[in-house]
Each structure stands twice: as structure tokens, then as C-alpha cells.
Chains A and B, each alone.
Chain A
Amino acid sequence: MLPEHLDFERDYDTTASHFNLIRDAARGRYKIKYLGFELIEEISPAAALVLASEVHMWNRRITGRLRAVHETWNPNIKRLLCEMGYFELLGLDRPSSPGPTGDVTFLNFRRGTSDPIDKGKLAKELRIDIEGLVGTGIKKHEFYQGLSEAIVNVGQHAYPEGTSYASRKYWWQSASFDRRDRTLTVMFYDQGIGIPNSLPATGFLERIRARFDRWPDSLKIKAAMKYGRSSTRRGERGKGLQDLVKFAKAYPGGRLSIYSGTGLYRIQHGADDTVETVRHDYKRSIGGTLIEWSVKL
């Protein structure tokens, strides 16, 4: 049974521990007979995205035999998951009465793979959908710069060949808009090895490798943001992580949060050009990398 609150911000450990159980089931470590949504009262957009990715992988494992008895679900949860396309993503019947419209509206989940298709087009489509949702233009160049590099990072680093991760190669994205304070949140998630498990790109970090390996994940994310991330030790590679912050930086108060492994690294830009950073480390892994941009339009 899933808990009342699924929200990394509010209760990271409870949220992550439940997702870890679904992930373990998806990897065949044990069987889940039933996944109960009845207790859920609140689910954040980012948690909904990660939940959908975990359930999607679990549903693949049980070859699409997933069922949803949504009559007993909280109407708000049902509406949120309807708006995000949860039922379509998992091949389930959509509820006929998804519930009342709320202050927060969500965009459909989009799922991508590492196949060499025109992934930039997916990023452009998301931007167009977001502008339809919020009713105004957004800083599209900075948005594309961040999202396209997130997509590239997944292909180049998240699912290394020759590892058990190589067969997954999916990523998921979505967005939400809160009309009350005009906050746009864009989320991007992969179930890969995580930024802390990528090799450092710079000679400097290579030289302190032994010490680097003992750093908490949040510090490794910070280092990767600052110095780059590369699995090739090539200096020109791995600089794309620095592109992620551009969209948040384009708006006063814009925030970029990167959860990867057991760490969180957050950069918040103040209205007066100040920058605050937050690091936090948790007991449990988020099971990949979750990137969340939050800006006030």
C-alpha cells in the first residue's frame, strides 16, 4: 500500500522507500501482488513522474497484467494521474470521471528512449505544450539548452553498455503549472547509474579520486555540475550538466534541483543575482537521476 504522502520534498525517505520496493519487484527480486493507491492524499508532480516510471518498468516485468481499481482513490490523485497520462502510459483504462479541476495542472508524461531518433523534437514539443498550458511564452532557448543536455546525458552516461542498466534506457519527462503562484515545474527522470557513479571528467578530480569516492553523493553532484561529468576522461566531454542551470537562471527565483543516487544538490537564483545552493544526503537512493526545474512566470 502506498503512503498518504508521496513527495520528495516533504518526506523523501518514505517516498523513496516505497519506490525502491516497486523497483525491486520490477527487477524480479520479489513479487508484488497488489499496489494500493487508496491511501494517497497528496503526490507531488516529481513523485508522480518517478512513480509512473517505476510502475511502467514493473508492468513490463509482469507483461502488462497491471490493473487499476481507481474507484476508491482520492479524486485529486485520480485527476492528477489522468492529466499526466498515467493510465495511457501503462495501457490501463482511463477513469470516466477523473475528478474536479484543481489549481495545479499537469502535462502528459512523455517517455523517451536512448534510440538515435530526433530527440530535440521531443524537447520542442514539450516546450509548445508547456506554453499552451501556461498561456505565455517561456525562455525557450534556455529551456531547450537544459532539457536537450539532460536527454544527451541519459544517452551518454546513465545506462552504460555492459552493465545491467543497459537494457532499460528509458527517460520520462513531464511538467506542471500552479496557477496560484504561476509556478512552472518541469521534471526529467532516468533510472540510470546516477551522476555520482559517473567518472569525474577533470584531471583534478581524477588525482583526488580516492577522496572523491568517499564524498557523499550530494557533493559528487555538485562537483559534476562544476567540473563536468564524463565516462571517457575526455576534457571536452561532460560539460552539458552546466547547461541544466540555464533555464532556472533565466527567471528570478528560479530553482534547479538534482536528485541523484542518495544526494540532492539544489541551486536557487535570487531576484538580486544571488545564488544559494543546498546539499542534502539521504539513506535511500532515488533510483537514478531526477532533475527538476521550478520557475515563477
Chain B
Amino acid sequence: MKTINIAKDYSDTPLGRFPADGEFNGTRFREEYLRPALTGEDKVSVQIDGVEGYGSSFLEEAFGGLVRRGYFTPDQLKQKLDLTYQDQDFKMYRDLIWRYINEAKPEKGQ
């Protein structure tokens, strides 16, 4: 099982959706960290606490984008993706991530 600690492996200040939004944006996290890990492993654990916080743009693009881009279905992600945190403040972000995954619709042509 692969583990990704967002704060340590990526940034403790993730922000925005696209590269134009900032260096540690959701697209980059999805394409360089999340998608390769999910493609190569049966199970991926993502530790989501330890960061300053998350805006909707980052979370939707990083996690909802996995479904919108046609990489995975929500059911596949339920099997493969484990979101962990020690800091209970981050429960709200875990819930938000699953909401974005479940609400995402594959884009046309994906």
C-alpha cells in the first residue's frame, strides 16, 4: 500500500485548482502524486491533516478531478482510496472530498 502525506510529500499550503493558481495546486497534486499512486497500487492511503487547510478548488480538482477526467469511478475510489487524519478538525475535509468524488461526472470525451 502506498501512503501519501499531503503536508510532508506535497505542501502544507495547498491552494487552487490550476497551475496558474499557485505552485501547489490541485491539478499538479492529482497528476503527479494521486493518479500515479492509484494507478500503480491496489490501495492508497492519503493523510490529509497537517496542512493549513483546504479550499474547495484544491479538493475538487485533486479528488473530484479523478472522476471528471475519467481516470476512476467513485466505486473504484471507494475500494482503493483511504483518507486518514489524526486531527479531528480534518473530518470536514474528508467528508468534502468524498462529496466531490461522488458528485463528479466524467467529462465528455473522457
Contact = CB atoms under 8 A, between A and B. Distances in A.
B53 interface: yes
Contact of B52 (A116, A144, A243): A144
B104 A155 contact: no
A139 B93 CA distance: 15
B11 A120 contact: yes
Interface in A112-156: 114, 116-121, 123-124, 127, 140-145, 148-149, 151-152, 155-156
Residues of A in contact with B, size category: 20 to 34
B54 interface: yes
A152 B16 contact: yes
Contacts of B15: 118-120, 123, 148, 151-152
Nearest to B93: A141
Given A140-B52, A143-B53, A243-B56, A116 B19 contact: yes
Contacts, number: 98
A118 B55 contact: no
B64 A152 contact: no
Interface in A30-59: none
B15 to A, nearest CB: 4
A240 interface: yes
B53 A152 contact: no
Interface residues of B, number: 30
Contact of A236 (B13, B21, B53, B104): B104
Contacts of A145: 53-56
A124 B12 contact: yes
Given A123-B13, A152-B15, A240 B23 contact: no
B53 A118 contact: no
B29 interface: no
Given A116-B23, A123-B15, A236-B68, A141 B56 contact: no
Given A116-B21, A155-B16, 12 more contacts: A116-B19, A118-B23, A119-B16, A120-B24, A141-B54, A143-B53, A148-B13, A152-B22, A152-B55, A236-B104, A239-B60, A243-B55
Interface of A: 114, 116-121, 123-124, 127, 140-145, 148-149, 151-152, 155-156, 236-237, 239-240, 242-243
